[in-house]
Amino acid sequence: MTDYPAWLRDFVAMAPRIDVPEMMRPPGNGERAAAVLVLFGEGPEGPDLLLLQRADTMRKHAGQPAFPGGGIDPDDGGPVGAALREAAEETGLDPSGVMVLASMPEMYVAHSGYRVTPVVAWWREPSAVAAGDPDEVASVARVPLVELTDPANRLQVRTPSGYVGPAFRVGGMLVWGFTAGILHRVLQTGGWERPWDEDRIEELPPEVIDLAARE
């Protein structure tokens, strides 16, 4: 496979073997399977990733930035089909322009009990994207890698439980939690991470806590 950028090849080769931290390892097969689309593209500002922000009215993960994705339905045929279907529904992208490259190991979202497979893909033929169902998606953004790797945009946040994890301030969003954990590992594995101040720890904003507390 040669029709995707050379800068992605090392990451694609290593993606299936990314080390999953113990707290993100699925405890078993009883939880529901899900998939997200980690979609790389080439935008006006260089390489980018597609992210969306969940609507504040969502029952789960309200207001949180995320990769497109959701639960795997029987007709999906597995994580790849689910990731593409959900991305099309949530952002309006045309799946025919997406080249699937690899799948990362399953990762566990303890809060919702999902076993999530991140599906890595290249946006070979980009299509217009916008928020789909407003009850589920508030906005869609192509976030440049240069913003994600900018040390000024990186920090850690502390949740009310005391857990401290990676976060990003990009595209007018605070990306934290499970999605930030995936992004952190993607940047490390791809060799794109730049030195940043890991001692910069901020409390999770009250408005974010309020949304999470509704679940």
Please report the domains of the chain, with CATH numbers, ordered by start residue.
6-213 (3.90.79.10)
* pLDDT tens digits in sequence order for the chain, 215 residues long: 459 999 999 999 999 999 998 888 888 766 799 999 999 999 999 999 999 999 876 566 567 899 999 999 999 999 999 999 999 999 999 999 999 999 999 999 887 889 999 999 999 999 999 998 888 899 999 999 999 999 999 999 999 889 999 999 998 999 999 999 999 999 999 999 999 999 999 999 888 876 665 55
Return the pLDDT at 57: 62
Quote the pTM value.
0.94
Region class of 148: left (phi > 0), else alpha (psi between -120 and 50), else beta: alpha
Evaluate whether 50 touches 132 at the Cβ level (below 8 Å).
Answer: no
Which run of H or of E encompasses 7?
helix 6-14
Exposure letters 154-177 (e unless 16+ CB within 10 A, then b): bbbbeeeeeeebbbbbbbebbbbb
